[in-house]
Amino acid sequence: MGGYAVVDVEATGRSPWRHRVVEVAVVLLDDGLRTEETFATLVDPVGPVGPTHVHRISQDDVVGAPRFREVAPHLLDLLAGRVVVGHHVSCDHAFLEREFARIGVPLPAVPLLCTMRLARTRLPAATGWGLTACVDAAGLGRYAAHTALGDARAAADLLRHYGRSGGLPPADHSAPPSAGTPVAWPRLARARSLGEGGAVPLLPRGTVPGPRPGGAPLPGGLPAAAGGE
């Protein structure tokens, strides 16, 4: 395994400690920056959705959405062995780290690559370092701003742009903890709230509650490394 996991989250506020993820998306890229898989769903934050004027997600939109614990096993699979990429990736990573911590899963240190940080040297003509300004400076066209999947796809396009214009630097924290010691990646059982079998009820933005497209369930039934609902 290898390549990149480009992530974006929309949240109920700015603090990973006090606020919750309300939408998450991951775009998997191989080592050649080709898209392998995309994943996106609204997430029930078990409380107020927060600044609807920013992320345009209403309280009604998350009715029927899975809780974080229900999609956590698949998210772990998506992130395993990947460089995690995002625009201001430390923010997205902090929210994911806290959500996993709430269900008793310590997320191991992962290599990070920030498309906003890279923009400071790769996009000198940019009028700012926000995602929209960087996308405009790179000439990448329009995207669905402030949606998790739209922002993740835009960050993936920025990463490809950087790759074409001079290659990519090593990711932060890319060295293993010690020579010859592999990172023990956590595994998580299917959430008990989902019962036995059946699809995880993903809820991509703009859809009604239902199973994963095509009816395929997310991977489940792995040995539990941590519990919680």
State mean pLDDT over 124-144.
94
Burial degree of 221 (CB within 10 A; 0-12, 13-18, 19+): exposed
The model's pTM is 0.86
Long-range contacts (CB closer than 8 Å, 24 or more residues apart) made by 193-196 = 193/67, 193/69, 193/70, 193/229, 194/70, 194/220
In the block, tokens 């990947």 appear at 82
Q: C-alpha 86: how far from its chain's center?
A: 8
Report the C-alpha gap between 88 and 183 in whole angstroms: 24
pLDDT reported for residue 196: 77
Residue 100 three-state SS: helix
pLDDT reported for residue 122: 94
Q: What is the CA radius of gyration of the chain?
A: 17
pLDDT reported for residue 169: 84
Q: What is the pLDDT of residues 153-209, one digit of tens each?
A: 999 999 999 999 888 888 776 554 444 455 689 989 889 888 877 778 899 987 644
Would you say 25 and 7 are in contact if contact means Cβ atoms under 8 Å apart?
A: yes
Report the C-alpha gap between 170 and 105 in whole angstroms: 27
In the block, tokens 């939109």 appear at 61
- Residue 214 CB neighbours (<10 A): 6
Residue 29 three-state SS: strand
